Chain A
Amino acid sequence: MNARLARLMTLPVLLVAWQFAAWAAGGHSYILPGPVLVADAWLAHWDTILRQAGITFLEIGIGLLLGAALGTASALGMAASPGLRRLMLPLLVASQAIPVFALAPILVLWLGYGLASKITMAVIIIYFPVSAAFLDGLRRTDPGWLELARTMNARPATMLLRLRLPAALPALASGLRVATAVAPIGAVIGEWVGSSAGLGYMMLQANARMQIPLMFAALLTLAVFAVALYLAADAALRRLVPWQVETLPSDA
C-alpha cells in the first residue's frame, strides 16, 4: 500500500473506530456520541459553532502573532546583551514554572471576560517555546563563521543580524511549530475559566446542558482548526528556511 493511500485512509479508519467505540460504550449519546450524531449536531448548530469558533480563532491568531513577536524580540535582545540575558532568563523560566491554569483566574479578574485575558493567556504559553528555541539557535552559531566575520571586521550588531539571526532561523521555526501546536490551549483555558463567547465557552455550556453531541461538534471544530493551523505554519516555515536539509528518510 502506498503512502498517499495510507494517508487518505486515516480519516475513514478513525471514523469507523469512533463509531465502534460509541457502540461499545452502550450507545449512550451522553457518554460518547458517535460520528453521525455529532455531524447532526454540527449541521444543526453550524452558524453558532462558526461564530463562536471565529472568536476562539481570533484569540489564537492574535496571541500567536503577539507571542511570536515578543519571543523573537526578547531572544534577540538577550543574544545582544548579557545584562538583559541575566535579567530575563530567570523570568523566562518563571513564566513556565507557574501553570497557566493557576494564572487564568487572575488574568480574567484583571483583564475581564473579553478577548484580552484569552489573548494574554495564549501569549504567555507561546512566548516561552519561541524565545527559548530562538535564543538557543542564536547561541549556537558556528564559531568558524564568527571568526571569519571578525577577520572581515564585522561589527557585533552586524554579526547578530546577518550571521546569528539567519543561522538561528531553523531553531526559531521549531519554536514556532511548538507554539502553533500549544496556542489553542491558552485560549481555551481562558474561555473555560471565565468568558461569554468562544468554543471553550460553548463546550462548557453544552456540557452543562447535557448537549454532548454539540460539545463534541465544537471540540472537533477546534481540533480541525488546530491541525490546519499547524500544517499551514509548517508549510510557511519550510519556505522561511529553504536551505534547511531534512535528514529523516522521506515519506513521500
Chain B
Amino acid sequence: MIDPSSASAPTFRPLATPGIVLRGARLVHEGLPLFDGLDFALAAGRCTCLLGPSGVGKSTLLRLIAGLAVGASGAAEGDDGRPLSGRIALMAQQDLLLPWLSALDNALLGYRLRHEVAPRTEAVALLARLGLGAASHLRPAALSGGMRQRVALARTLMENRPVVLMDEPFSGLDAITRLRLQTLAAEELRGCTVMLVTHDPLEALRLGHRIFVMTGRPAGLSDPIEPPGAPPRDAADPGLLRLQGELLKRLAAEAA
C-alpha cells in the first residue's frame, strides 16, 4: 500500500509518520506497580506532552516506548502495525554528547555508529540554522549548556526519524534559553510524532498539541488537554497562563 501523501513530502522529513499505540503497559518497580494496564497513544505528526510530578513514571513510559525499559511488559507499536525499531530518535535531559567529538561529529553520531556516509552538508546547514555555525568544530567542553542542548537537538534531527521521544530535554537550562530552544524545537520537529515528557506545565502548554497529566500509583492518565492554537504558543498569552495556573493547581493537589 502506498501512501499518496508521502510522495510530496519535503525532502528532509521522514516519509511515513506513524502514530504510536501502547496497550496494557505494566511495570513493577521494587514490588509496587509503577503503572499497570496503562493505555497510551501518540497521534501521528503531533506533539503529545506527558506532564506529572517526579517519580510518577513518565520517563519510564517514554523508555518503554523507546524499547529501553527493563522488566516492563506491553510493547509499543506504530499505528501502521509495524514495530518502532529504527523509527525513533531519542533526546534526553542530559545532552549525552561525546566529549571527544566536535559539535558537528556529535550531530552526525548516528551515521558514525551505523557506518553510513554522513550527510555533512546538511548537518552544517542545520547547525547554522540552530545558531551554532561558528561552533561546529568545537568540542562539547567548549560549549555552554544551551549550545550543548542545541547540538543534542541537531543530533536528534539528523537522525531523520518520524518519531521523536524527548525526556525533559530543556529542564537543565535557564528560562530564556529554554523558551528559545522550545521554539526552535517546535519549528524543527513540525510533522514528526513527538512525545515530550516534562514537569513544566508552561513547556507542555507551549509545545503540546495534546497534554496528558500522569498521576497516582499505579499511575493513570488524565483526559487530554488540547490548548487552542498551533505550537509553539506565546508564553505570554493570557489564556495559556490561565491554563498553566489550572495545571499547577492540579499537580499541587496531587502532590499533597
Taking Cβ atoms with an 8 Å cutoff, the residues of A that contact B are 142, 144-145, 147-154, 158-159, 162-163, 166-167, 169, 241, 243, 245
Contacts and interface: CB of A to CB of B under 8 A. Distances in A.
A50 B67 CA distance: 64
A241 to B, nearest CB: 8
Nearest to A144: B96
Interface of B: 63, 66-68, 85-86, 88-90, 92, 94, 96, 98-100, 109-110, 112-115, 139, 141, 159
Given A145-B96, A147-B90, A152 B66 contact: no
B115 A243 contact: no
Contacts of B114: 152-154, 158
Contact of B98 (A147, A158, A166): A166
B115 A158 contact: yes
A151 B113 contact: no
Nearest to A145: B96
A245 B141 contact: yes
Contacts of A162: 112-113
A243 B141 CA distance: 7
Contacts of A243: 99-100, 139, 141
A131 to B, nearest CB: 22
A250 B110 CA distance: 37
Contacts of B86: 153
19 contacts: A145-B98, A147-B63, A147-B66, A148-B92, A149-B113, A150-B68, A152-B113, A153-B86, A154-B114, A158-B113, A158-B115, A159-B113, A162-B113, A163-B98, A163-B113, A167-B98, A169-B100, A243-B139, A245-B141
